[in-house]
Amino acid sequence: AHFKDYDRDVDRRVFKALLPLFREAIAPELAPEFLSTVQSRFKGDTDAYVDALYEETLLASEEDVMDLLDGWNKRAAKLVAADPAYTAARSCFTAYLERVRPEYERLGG
């Protein structure tokens, strides 16, 4: 169902447009780990990072995702764990859990 209306090219263009804005706006102490990869591996070039992510990820293709799920095993789990889209999303979630949510809850949220 996710891929029914999904367009990889639109997704890539949106990510290219939003990532520099996010990078500029996020406080360094709240930044997810993947932003350090953008800086270290891609010298801050967010377009190059996004292009590499979409070239390497298995998660932006319905066929690749279905192949992973149909043959789920330890190898597939390792592929997902190393996938650049997964690692970026996981670093955002981890940053939220470890840095944002505690303060939000402290403030009564």
Closest CA to 56 of 37, 30, 36: 37
> What pLDDT is attached to residue 25?
98
Closest CA to 85 of 59, 64, 63: 59
> What pLDDT is attached to residue 79?
97
> What pLDDT is attached to residue 14?
99
The structural domains of the chain, with segments of one domain joined by +, span 2-106
> What pLDDT is attached to residue 50?
99
> What pLDDT is attached to residue 1?
77
Q: Low-confidence residues of the chain, pLDDT below 70? A: none
> What pLDDT is attached to residue 109?
79
